[in-house]
Amino acid sequence: MLLLAGLFEVGYALAVGGSHGFTHLSWSLVAAVFFLLTLWALSAALRTIDVGIGYAVWAGIGAVGAALLGPVFFDENLSPARATWLGVIIVGVVWLKLADSPQEPRVAER
């Protein structure tokens, strides 16, 4: 559910970019739909995930997705330096989520 929320966040960010400050009606309506979908999916995901971890992963997916797809849709620039730092974000989000994974209890030795 958190991945879905992140994908909706990417759609929202791209639609906001395409709306040019909410001056294009069609993009603005798409942005509103994605906004509602991302809030719904994020709230559902946060039922079982700590809010700090969930929000960080959601924001990371949205930021990286928008940065990677911005050049595809809006003729934006993705320099090697930007791509490197996006990679750092991806690694950080993955490690953050792995750190949140439940650990198996240790058996005490006698």
Spatial contact of 17 and 70, defined as CB atoms under 8 Å apart: yes
Residue 25 lies in a domain: yes
At a CB cut-off of 8 Å and minimum separation 6, what does 86 contact?
A: 63, 64, 67, 68
Backbone torsion region of residue 40, taken as left when φ is above 0, otherwise alpha when ψ lies between -120 and 50, otherwise beta: alpha
Residue 106 lies in a domain: no
pLDDT (tens digit per residue) in 2-32: 999 999 999 999 999 999 999 999 999 999 9
Quote the pLDDT of residue 98.
81
Residue 52 lies in a domain: yes
Query: Residue 104's pLDDT band (boundaries 50, 70, 90)?
Result: low
Residue 24 lies in a domain: yes
* DSSP per-residue letters across 55-75: HHHHHHHHHHHHHHHHHHHH-
Residue 41 lies in a domain: yes
* Overall domain count for the chain: 1
